């Protein structure tokens, strides 16, 4: 599922294509006989009901106005078929002949519908409406997905005011839990069957907390939802595992940010730092520059501190959309400079500093090294990029085969980019974001680098390409690919053996660099 032309992440046609990609991948799981068939169909039903509702409210009423009457009528007819099939799937069970026939029919109708929209109708609409209109409609599309009814109503009229479309008053999606017949706690799990059992337990635990999909919420609403750390804590509690992992001390300092204000810097001191100044690692949290904070990634910092006997510092940089690009990058660079200049008061060694992070934290780790090198300043001794975003483009196979992955699926990635680059579309091509566009000289300026990628992650392909690019440029590069795990797995070492191994890989990478510098 892919459009043949360029779009911005918040454009309505971009968002529609993301939804298509998710459903198509879920269809493929069903066809392959893997995963949880009931949960996959329930998730598909929710996605298609919200998607169809929003298209009917926002997009289709415009088509007759611009000469797309036949396209409008055809799309509405197919939506009606889809709704009727979803109702059948909701009242029958996998294995029953009626269920299986409805599922077969649904796949056929949806795939035909997607082909018509992506190959003919959406390109025609963009040409007639213009790119600015696509962005405006994209915002309306997401707003209406939040207001969509949560069950298909096949006997409702296929057009008209929102209440008539659904055959009921359009409830806010806050009420999803009340109308999904007890299945709402499986709404955001990964039902593909492709995760290993320990990883599956984590995504199941997250979904059991009842969050709505982040990508249909406003940033403020999304930040109130349980994050990946809450999922790990639930698994720990279920297994009687105590936490958090103890360290020597944890202290929050107030330091300058990149805009003349202040930010919090959390400082983790190891339990056994040894004699003399100790190395310092700056660890940068993820969340797409929009979600999450230093609390969310606390477990990663604790684990790395104990495994390296280094001081871990983690800046709570500004986030979008309140502070869009390059605010987060500026804060990280400012924090790095402050820590280097004040390392001794932290008990650290300013000559033995390294950097790393998860997701966009990994992006900013590399971007910080690049900026330091470009300004003829000392670069970190080593860097670790855990499933980093290295291009704003929808790059590689993982955008298709992990389109439906959780906790980061393709729609959420677009949602994050839409908010992170709001009003600054040029950010997508800035070298601090577009790491895959670096020149050979820029790549060669990197310190020894460890790149960690995860199988069930839309960012997998671009992380793998970044590692290959660095290695080709002569950088000492290690790539660790972890099968059967998802984006955000790294901080789950308390309940996920592969996360513990990945943290040890990161610690060993840092420690080698510190030891080599110490001997030199």
pLDDT digits (tens, 9 = 90+) for 481-520: 999 999 999 999 999 999 999 999 999 999 999 998 765 5
Read off the pLDDT of residues 99-135 as tens digits, 9 standing for 90 and up. 999 999 999 999 999 999 999 999 999 999 999 899 9
pLDDT of 186 reads 85
Question: What's the rounded mean pLDDT across residues 281-297?
Answer: 98
Higher pLDDT, 168 or 50: 50
Six token digits for residue 71: 């396209």
Question: What's the rounded mean pLDDT across residues 205-232?
Answer: 94
- Would you say residue 27 has pLDDT above 60? yes
Which pLDDT band holds residue 39 (cuts at 50, 70, 90)? very high
Structurally, at CATH architecture level, domain 249-519 sits in: 3-Layer(aba) Sandwich (3.40)
- Would you say residue 396 has pLDDT above 80? yes
- Would you say residue 273 has pLDDT above 90? no
Which pLDDT band holds residue 286 (cuts at 50, 70, 90)? very high
pLDDT of 83 reads 87
pLDDT of 1 reads 56
Read off the pLDDT of residues 467-478 as tens digits, 9 standing for 90 and up. 999 999 999 999
Domain boundaries along the sequence of the chain: 1-148, 249-519
Read off the pLDDT of residues 130-146 as tens digits, 9 standing for 90 and up. 998 999 999 999 988 88
Which pLDDT band holds residue 65 (cuts at 50, 70, 90)? very high
Report d(CA 292, CA 287) in Å as an integer.
Answer: 5
Mean model confidence pLDDT for the chain: 91
pLDDT of 170 reads 37
The mean-pLDDT minimum among 173-182, 336-345, 347-356, 459-468 falls in: 173-182
Report d(CA 245, CA 293) in Å as an integer.
Answer: 18
**491 touches 498 (CB < 8 A):** no
**37 touches 102 (CB < 8 A):** no
- Would you say residue 436 has pLDDT above 60? yes
Reading phi first (left if > 0) and then psi (alpha if -120 to 50, else beta), residue 324 is in beta
Question: Is the peptide bond preceding residue 244 cis, with omega within 30 degrees of 0?
Answer: yes
| Interstrand relation of 477-486 and 449-456 (parallel, antiparallel or unpaired) | parallel
Read off the pLDDT of residues 152-206 as tens digits, 9 standing for 90 and up. 544 443 443 333 334 432 333 333 334 344 566 788 999 999 999 999 999 999 9
Report d(CA 189, CA 405) in Å as an integer.
Answer: 8
Higher pLDDT, 50 or 23: 23
- Would you say residue 434 has pLDDT above 70? yes
Report d(CA 453, CA 371) in Å as an integer.
Answer: 24
Report d(CA 248, CA 88) in Å as an integer.
Answer: 58
Question: What's the rounded mean pLDDT across residues 407-416?
Answer: 96
Question: What's the rounded mean pLDDT across residues 392-399?
Answer: 96
Report d(CA 201, CA 234) in Å as an integer.
Answer: 10
What's 225's DSSP letter? Answer: S
């Amino acid at each position: 599922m892919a459009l043949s032309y360029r779009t911005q992440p918040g454009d309505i046609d971009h968002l529609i294509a993301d939804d298509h990609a998710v459903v198509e991948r879920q269809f493929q799981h069903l066809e392959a006989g893997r995963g949880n068939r009931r949960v996959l169909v329930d998730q598909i039903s929710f996605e298609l009901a919200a998607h169809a509702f929003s298209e009917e409210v926002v997009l289709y009423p415009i088509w007759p106005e611009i000469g797309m009457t036949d396209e409008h009528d055809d799309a509405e007819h197919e939506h009606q078929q889809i709704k009727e099939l979803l109702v059948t799937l909701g009242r029958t069970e996998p294995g029953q002949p009626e269920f299986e026939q409805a599922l077969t029919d649904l796949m056929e109708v949806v795939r035909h519908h997607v082909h018509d929209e992506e190959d003919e109708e959406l390109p025609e609409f963009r040409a007639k409406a213009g790119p600015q209109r696509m962005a405006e409609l994209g915002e309306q599309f997401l707003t209406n997905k939040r207001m969509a009814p949560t069950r298909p109503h096949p006997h409702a009229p296929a057009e008209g005011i929102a209440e008539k479309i659904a055959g009921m008053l359009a409830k806010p999606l806050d009420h999803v839990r009340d109308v999904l017949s007890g299945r709402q706690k499986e709404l955001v799990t990964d039902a593909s069957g492709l995760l290993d059992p320990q990883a599956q337990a984590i995504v199941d635990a997250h979904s059991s907390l009842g969050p709505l999909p982040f990508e249909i919420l406003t940033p403020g609403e999304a930040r109130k939802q349980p994050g990946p750390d809450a999922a790990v804590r639930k698994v720990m509690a279920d297994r009687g595992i105590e936490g958090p992992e103890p360290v020597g001390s944890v202290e929050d300092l107030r330091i300058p940010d990149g805009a003349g204000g202040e930010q919090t810097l959390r400082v983790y001191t190891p339990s056994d730092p040894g004699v003399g100044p100790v190395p310092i690692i700056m660890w940068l949290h993820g969340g797409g520059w929009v979600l999450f904070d230093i609390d969310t990634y606390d477990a990663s910092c604790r684990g790395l501190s104990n495994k390296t006997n280094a001081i871990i510092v983690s800046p709570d940089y500004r986030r979008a959309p309140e502070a869009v690009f390059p605010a987060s990058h500026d804060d990280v660079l400012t924090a790095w400079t402050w820590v280097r200049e004040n390392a001794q008061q932290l008990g650290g060694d300013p000559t033995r500093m390294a950097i790393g992070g998860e997701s966009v934290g990994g992006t900013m780790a590399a971007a910080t090294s690049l900026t330091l090198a470009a300004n003829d300043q000392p670069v970190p001794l080593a860097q670790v990029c855990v499933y980093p975003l290295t291009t704003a483009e929808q790059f590689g196979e993982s955008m298709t085969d992990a389109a439906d992955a959780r906790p980061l699926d393709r729609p959420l990635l677009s949602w994050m980019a839409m908010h992170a680059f709001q009003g600054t579309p040029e950010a997508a091509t800035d070298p601090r974001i577009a790491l895959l566009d670096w020149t050979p000289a820029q790549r060669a300026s990197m310190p020894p680098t460890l790149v960690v990628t995860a199988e069930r992650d839309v960012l997998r392909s671009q992380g793998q390409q970044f590692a290959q690019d660095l290695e080709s440029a002569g950088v000492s590069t290690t790539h660790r690919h972890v099968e059967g795990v998802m984006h955000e797995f790294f901080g789950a070492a308390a309940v996920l053996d592969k996360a513990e191994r990945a943290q040890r890989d990161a610690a060993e990478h840092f420690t080698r660099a510190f030891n080599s510098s110490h001997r030199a």
